[in-house]
Structure 1
């Protein structure tokens, strides 16, 4: 097995918490109505297109045309986005800082809209510690597309076989593996330490 020389972190649900339910528990108190709203109106797939680069203005316009009675709630998704990233995972951030302090080459690869990512970097300064970051919306590609892994590796000079990727999504982990990277699925900071130890990475 090749020695790991590059570590690539995902961000959402690995380093920072993300949960659209947080503001919408207040905006739509009824659980069944809230479940319907996320399943039918502001769906995961709708939100993912902003990660691919679609503007919020266009996203809102298209959705309001389909669901005019829910215009206020549709616009509330972006307006209350800062509440959705409520906190960092301190134990994961400690690992991030530790591997950087040990001299490991660390970059980040994330599915994120451009404007919300700029806000996240201001709210969570540790997102500026990595050598570089590929943000999906800025390159018009999205995990688990093969092309985004290849682009990240090319941009930052990574040897795929010597790269370890950490992501909470099984599909994104498998996408990295298909691109020739080593990859582990994030489930907890404790497990991540064990995964790093198995690869001979000091934390």
Structure 2
């Protein structure tokens, strides 16, 4: 993991803040879905490494249709059909809650009138279901979702799409993400990147930039 240097102070605060969702505002825990469906942690790890690996999940983030993606894995592992289908029908179990400290920061920024946006790698359909579960989504003026756009972070194209669609000046915007590769991609597109490791550090980073947190 690449370490990022401390965020330097600015002469004026950024005008806009862009949030990632998973493991920034929302807890995302894939193993949680299978802890009560498989006998132990080793079995869960094996299932998610072999049957539904992250590179397969990434195709959903990239816009692949769920039916097609599930059918592929069922054909390979027919003995696990019920468990594979559960990934879609019970996907909400992988997102048990919001990260309260980050939601507090989001609400402080919203209360101060800071324009807020989201840029997320997220599969189609389950994004809409997730948005309906959490009230903090009302604070976003716009959201770019990889599954609908069929492009994903850290591809610079999705950052450019965000900026163009919502008339965001990257040099006047902050982008927050838990993955260093995505932070680096945002910085390459002109955003100030903040690597999220927890709400307390995020609040300190935003305050250093002159933003309320």
1:175 deviates by 1.1
CA distance in 2, matches of 1:2, 1:20: 41
Rounded Cα–Cα distance in structure 2 between residues aligned with 1:85 and 1:33: 21
Which residue does the alignment assign to 1:69? 79
TM-score, with structure 1 as normaliser = 0.96
> Which residue among 12, 24, 33 is the counterpart of 1:23?
33
C-alpha RMSD of matched pairs (Å)? 1.1
Is 1:183 paired with 2:156? no
Deviation >6 Å, runs of 4+: none
Counterpart in 2 of 1:42? 52
1:87 aligns with 2:97: yes
CA distance in 2, matches of 1:48, 1:128: 26
| Structure 2 counterpart of 1:145, from 155, 167, 184 | 155
Give me the whole-angstrom Cα distance separating, in 1, the residues matched to 2:106 and 2:41. Answer: 36
Q: 2:122 aligns with which of 69, 88, 112?
A: 112
Contact 2:178 2:195 in 1 (8 A): yes
Q: How far does residue 134 in structure 1 lie from its aligned partner after superposition? A: 0.4
**TM-score of the two chains, using structure 2 as the length reference:** 0.92
Aligned to 2:131: 121
SS of corresponding position for 1:114: coil
Gaps of 5+ in 2: 1-9
Unaligned stretches of 5+ in structure 1?
Answer: none
Asked whether the 8 Å contact 1:53–1:140 carries over to 2, the reply is yes
> Residues of 2 paired with 1:150 and 1:163: CA distance?
13
* Structure 1 pair 143–53 and aligned structure 2 pair: CA distance change class (3 A): same
What is the CA deviation profile of residues 106-131 of structure 1, one whole-angstrom value per residue up to 9, with x for unaligned ones?
A: 11101111211111111102112211
- CA–CA distance in structure 2, aligned partners of residues 34 and 21 of structure 1: 6
Equivalence for 2:4:
none
Q: Secondary structure at the match of 1:109?
A: strand
1:30 CA displacement: 2.0
Determine if the alignment matches structure 1 residue 196 to structure 2 residue 196.
no
